[in-house]
Amino acid sequence: MTGMFELTDADRERAAAHIEQARAEAADISLPAGVAPRPVHTVAVVGAGTMGGGIAMACANAGLEVWLVDAEAAGLARGLARVREQYAASVQRGRLTAQAMDERLARIRGTLVLADAAAADLWVEAVFEDLVLKQSLFRQIDAVARPGAVLATNTSGLDIDAIAAATSRPQDVAGAHFFSPAHVMKLLEVVRAAQTAPDVLATLMALGARLGKTAVLARVYPGFIGNALFRQYNREAHFLVEDGALPHEVDAALTGFGYAMGIFAVHDMAGNDVGYPTRKAQMATRDPARRWNDLIMKLVEQGRLGQKSGRGWYRYDSGRREPQRDPEFEAWLVAESQRLGRQRRPIGTEEILERCLYGMVNEGARLLEQGIALRPGDIDLVYLTGYGFPAAQGGPMFMADRIGLPRVLAAVERLHAEHGVWWEPAPLLRRLAQAGSSFGQWARERG
Ligand SMILES: NC(=O)c1ccc[n+]([C@@H]2O[C@H](COP(=O)([O-])OP(=O)(O)OC[C@H]3O[C@@H](n4cnc5c(N)ncnc54)[C@H](O)[C@@H]3O)[C@@H](O)[C@H]2O)c1
């Protein structure tokens, strides 16, 4: 790694100290004095899919009693079987005793009837990502849940105010955004909706700590903190391969920066079809004045789902996970860029990193200014615990401070001039850069 993304030992030490401080501060969400978490002994997890099963395990592991609810007998059976398999695998690997597995399993009860969980202290909804479905479910939960229960949704990005409005008790509704696999990943975004009561937030922040997770408070915003920044990173990576870089070049720049995997290798691992329906649905409401990128949808349509189909952004030898360059795909990519009218050109590491990383910083500045995130350190924590951002860099906002905001702003302005509206500089970034300040200083001055 060269240039401004390179770190000295002193930089690494400062990053480690910053993360430690950010961890200590994240739990302080400035609630009025005397606000205490509501007691939680029993949790109802609704939706026994990928997320619901993981959330149920995370809760059972922490000693909570869990109801796992699904609308479909088959869905419930699959969910419970997956939970059993995951525990059994941990026992086999020597990470869990058979007795601990039995105790945890005994804490998770499955049901198809919401009312069975009526006494739950906390509900976590994890059904399909569909606003109408979630609203209808929250109406049903509202009808059976005991007064004072906390009603949380694990939505990845739907409007939680619209979900809360379906109930008679919007003050009890908030977001509890877990990451997959939910019993492993250490991040919990707690999302405050317009009417969420302070003690509901306290309850969810305390839940995060009890589950051994880093809980970070966000407000309602498309993608909350983590996915709002991820959108910028993901978008630029895809534009880069249209503009002339090849997937392995983007990935090599990112791993050189410190990510364990590059973004295209990650897409191939997760499955390029993840999010396909959502993306397709969004196409209808897109601003035609903006540049968009649909390469990943085209991959899916060609059966390039990633590791599971043996080909995606890379090709995979049978049964193996190492990405190999795929000349057939690269030839298609070059032809596709030309079809889109792009003049392909060689793109160096520094441009790849600037475009992948500075969009996140710019969006982070927007989140701070709007109060979606409370502090730059919170954004950094989200990135380190949920998105694999290299710890040595201290998180995107800390990295920007290290590089110097005037330098970051200059790059964002240049990218804005070259690429247009996606790169419009955030007012806070501009203000701090022009004042010779930093995100860290801004946070300290606000106290
Ligand atoms: N998968 C991820 O990586 C991830 C990460 C964070 C958040 N989320 C969010 O979590 C939620 C669940 O995602 P998932 O990937 O676990 O979905 P999934 O498709 O694996 O599981 C959804 C489950 O909900 C059940 N269900 C549907 N309608 C129901 C109802 N009315 N009552 C009870 N159960 C019902 C289904 O039978 C299914 O078992 C979504 O909102 C998603 O956006 C997902």
Pairing of the two strands 173-178 and 187-192:
antiparallel
Closest atom of ligand 1 relative to the 140 alpha carbon: 31
Tell me, what's the pLDDT at 1? 55
Tell me, what's the pLDDT at 3? 86
Q: Report the separation in Å between the CA atom of 217 and the middle of ligand 1, taken as the mean of its atom positions.
A: 22
pLDDT, tens digit, 9 for 90 and up, residues 175-228: 999 999 999 999 999 999 999 999 999 999 999 999 999 999 999 999 999 999
pLDDT, tens digit, 9 for 90 and up, residues 155-171: 998 999 999 999 999 99
Segment 112-140 shows an average pLDDT of 97
Query: Per-residue pLDDT for 417 more than 80?
Result: yes
Q: Position of tokens 């030992």?
A: 9
* Domain 226-339 is found in CATH 3.20.20.70: no
Structurally, at CATH architecture level, domain 348-446 sits in Orthogonal Bundle (1.10)
Tell me, what's the pLDDT at 319? 87
pLDDT-derived band at 271 (thresholds 50, 70, 90) equals very high
Tell me, what's the pLDDT at 196? 98
**Nearest one of 66, 112, 60, 63 to 86, comparing CA atoms:** 60
Segment 357-369 shows an average pLDDT of 98
Which strands sit side by side in the sheet containing 214-219, from one edge to the other? 108-111, 65-69, 42-46, 122-125, 150-153, 173-178, 187-192, 214-219
Q: Position of tokens 């004072």?
A: 148
Known catalytic residues? Answer: 156, 177, 189, 227
Q: What's the one-letter identity of residue 93?
A: R
CATH 3.40.50.720 occupies which residues in the chain? 42-219
pLDDT, tens digit, 9 for 90 and up, residues 32-63: 999 999 999 999 999 999 999 999 999 999 99
**Nearest one of 162, 172, 110, 106 to 141, comparing CA atoms:** 172
Q: Position of tokens 């973004």?
A: 263
Closest atom of ligand 1 relative to the 137 alpha carbon: 31
DSSP bridge pairs for 122: 43, 150
Alpha carbon nearest to ligand 1 atom 5, residue: 179
CATH 1.10.1040.50 occupies which residues in the chain? 226-339, 348-446
CATH classification (class only), 42-219: alpha beta
Tell me, what's the pLDDT at 248? 98
To the nearest whole percent, how much of the chain has pLDDT over 90?
Answer: 96
Q: Are 410 and 423 in contact (CB under 8 A)?
A: no
Q: Position of tokens 């920007």?
A: 400
Q: Report the separation in Å between the CA atom of 41 and the middle of ligand 1, taken as the mean of its atom positions.
A: 23
Tell me, what's the pLDDT at 278? 86
To the nearest whole percent, how much of the chain has pLDDT over 70?
Answer: 100
CB-defined site of ligand 1, < 6 Å: 46-52, 69-72, 75, 79, 126-129, 133, 137, 154-156, 178-180
* Cα angle 200-385-81, degrees, rounded to a multiple of 5: 75
Q: Report the separation in Å between the CA atom of 110 and the middle of ligand 1, taken as the mean of its atom positions.
A: 16
Query: Per-residue pLDDT for 130 more than 60?
Result: yes
Segment 228-245 shows an average pLDDT of 97
Q: Report the separation in Å between the CA atom of 130 and the middle of ligand 1, taken as the mean of its atom positions.
A: 9
Alpha carbon nearest to ligand 1 atom 36, residue: 47
Query: Per-residue pLDDT for 2 more than 70?
Result: no
* Distance between CA atoms of residues 170 and 153, nearest Å: 12
Pocket test of ligand 1: the residue of 113, 125, 156 to mutate, having most ligand atoms within 8 Å of its CB, is 156
**pTM metric for this prediction:** 0.96
